[in-house]
Amino acid sequence: MKFYSYTDLSKDKVEAICLRQLEDDSSILERVKSIVTRVKNEGDKALFDYASQFDKVIMNKLYIDKEEIESIASTIPADAKSAIDTAYQNIRTFHASQANKEGRVETMEGVECWRETRAIEKVGLYVPGGSAVLPSTFLMLGIPALIAGCKEIVVCSPPQQDGKTNCYVAYCAVKLGIERIYLIGGAQAVAAMAYGTESVPKVYKIFGPGNRYVTQAKQLVQSAAGTAIDMPAGPSEVLVLADETANPSYVASDLLAQAEHGADSQAILVATSRKIIDKILERLEIQIKELPRREVTALAIANSYAVLVENLEQGMEFSNVYAPEHLILATEKFEQLIPLITNAGSVFLGNLTPESAGDYASGTNHTLPTSGFAKAYSGVSLDSFVKKITFQHISRKGLENIGSTVEILAAAEGLDAHKNAISIRLKG
Ligand SMILES: NC(=O)c1ccc[n+]([C@@H]2O[C@H](COP(=O)([O-])OP(=O)(O)OC[C@H]3O[C@@H](n4cnc5c(N)ncnc54)[C@H](O)[C@@H]3O)[C@@H](O)[C@H]2O)c1
Ligand SMILES: N[C@H](CO)Cc1c[nH]c[nH+]1
Ligand SMILES: [Zn+2]
């Protein structure tokens, strides 16, 4: 892990180390463009070919239906079933609490404005399944989609070696009432949902995290096909801000938890003394040896760094520039830092709140902006699955009250037809 001392870094250098761009980003874009174009032009045929090329599976059908889903789901071990049930309940409770009805507002006497919520009718959910299959993501996307009332929910997830999905994903589908899973992964899944193919329905908005192919494809179809996306939710990352009250073993475990997602993940340690950094890295070296995914985890750690800061406030200053997907405040003084947070996807407070709890089961959503997009995007929530439509109603009294304001502003813009739409009513 590289090391920096914050006070020695220029502003430009801080910006530079916060960039998540990797060397081959432009080649990923070219590859994704060609995949998306082929799916758009050739539909299912391209999907079958890509399954064989990237997922190493020969598929004779691009999906599994209710009966097969139920049969796969029935093989789930009892403890996993009950863990999914608990996670489902917590995620449902938290997301259901986000459904706030707004009232009507009278901005002037007789001028009433309000918003009504409507579900996005057709949504596409991407459940990652490359280096690890993530049924937890299925819950994170499926539950708010159901609460919102989305009518058509299309689900894509890469085929596993047997050309199917696993029992955990299948059980999530049963719980969510999803009757078809498309076994398609990567950029080709995103393209299929954006343009539609013979088998895959076209959707209005695509949700879900994924590797750099998936994330790049979502950004591409947003501009090329006009498909909305939740946000760029790419390779996982965490920034841990630690002081002398942190537990080094806990911090090491949190850094490794995100690093194990993939070689392009990042785990950033920001600490108030060199001694704390050394202790945490010592623990990390011990823990990593025990991990089954230690090789890929080590690559992510090599792509990560530690930053020495003078105090927690300076640590927050750095964190806000980095804008982490996950921010862990490994300090007993977390309360005083909350007001200083301006950019982060999801925040974990204190020494007993591991980020893994949010990944699976506490209730918050784990689909979050990465690569600095937390500066402008929120993570997935119930809001992501709905549109807020504005309404207004103006009475005769309201027209009299607002009329001249609109007429004068329309005249100022030289738009007489706008002005007339008021004048004609005032006269009538
Ligand atoms: N930001 C978030 O909210 C969040 C949440 C969960 C997971 N994640 C991230 O999601 C990612 C999941 O990645 P994954 O790879 O395990 O699964 P994935 O499902 O995102 O990608 C697998 C697919 O990538 C495609 N692919 C693989 N190699 C390719 C190549 N060389 N060219 C073109 N396409 C290729 C294949 O089609 C394959 O099906 C991880 O980076 C993880 O950190 C992020
Ligand atoms: N940490 C991921 C979000 O970046 C979510 C996840 C799913 N499974 C385990 N972790
Ligand atoms: Zn995770």
Query: What's the complex ipTM?
Result: 0.98
Mean pLDDT of the region 201-217: 97
Single-letter code of the amino acid located at 351: N
Instruction: Tell me: pLDDT of 169 over 70.
Output: yes
> Which two tokens mark 237?
């990352």
State CA 263 to chain mean position distance.
Answer: 19
Instruction: Tell me: pLDDT of 22 over 90.
Output: no
Q: What is the dotted CATH code of the domain comprising 395-427?
A: 1.20.5.1300
pLDDT score at 112:
98
Ligand 2 lined by 237 (C-beta under 6 Å): no
Residues lining ligand 1, Cβ inside 6 A: 31, 54-55, 128-132, 134, 137, 158, 185-187, 209-211, 213-214, 233-236, 261-262, 265, 325, 366-368, 370
Q: Can you name the CATH fold of 25-231? A: Rossmann fold (3.40.50)
Mean pLDDT of the region 47-75: 97
pLDDT score at 25:
76
> Where in the sequence of the chain do the CATH 1.20.5.1300 domains occur?
395-427
Q: Which atom of ligand 1 is nearest to the CA of 55?
A: 39
Percent of the chain with pLDDT over 70: 100
Q: Per the residue annotation, which of 95, 237, 260, 326 is the catalytic one?
A: 326
Alpha carbon of 141 to ligand 2 centroid (Å): 13
Residue 133 DSSP symbol = B
Question: Best of 133, 239, 240, 261 to mutate for ligand 2, by most ligand atoms within 8 A of CB?
Answer: 261
Instruction: Tell me: pLDDT of 327 over 70.
Output: yes
Q: Where residue 23 falls among pLDDT bands split at 50, 70, 90?
A: low
Q: Per the residue annotation, which of 325, 355, 366, 407 is the catalytic one?
A: 325
In which residue are the tokens 């020494």 written? 351
Instruction: Tell me: pLDDT of 42 over 80.
Output: yes
Q: What's the mean per-residue pLDDT of the chain?
A: 97
Query: b/e map of 148-177 (b: 16 or more CB within 10 Å)?
Result: bebeebbbbbbbbeeebbbbbbbbbbbbbe
Q: Where residue 20 falls among pLDDT bands split at 50, 70, 90?
A: confident
Instruction: Output 26 or 319, whichever has higher pLDDT.
Output: 319
The phi and psi torsions of 142 (rounded to 5 degrees) equal: -70, -40
> Where in the sequence of the chain do the CATH 3.40.50.1980 domains occur?
2-20+235-363, 25-231
pLDDT score at 428:
80
Mean pLDDT of the region 179-199: 98
Q: Which atom of ligand 1 is nearest to the CA of 51?
A: 37
Mean pLDDT of the region 295-300: 98
Concerning whether 326 is annotated as a catalytic residue, the answer is yes
Question: Best of 137, 254, 266 to mutate for ligand 2, by most ligand atoms within 8 A of CB?
Answer: 137
Q: Which of 395, 417, 361, 306 is nearest to 110 (CA)?
A: 395
pLDDT score at 78:
98
- Architecture of the domain delimited by 2-20+235-363: 3-Layer(aba) Sandwich (3.40)
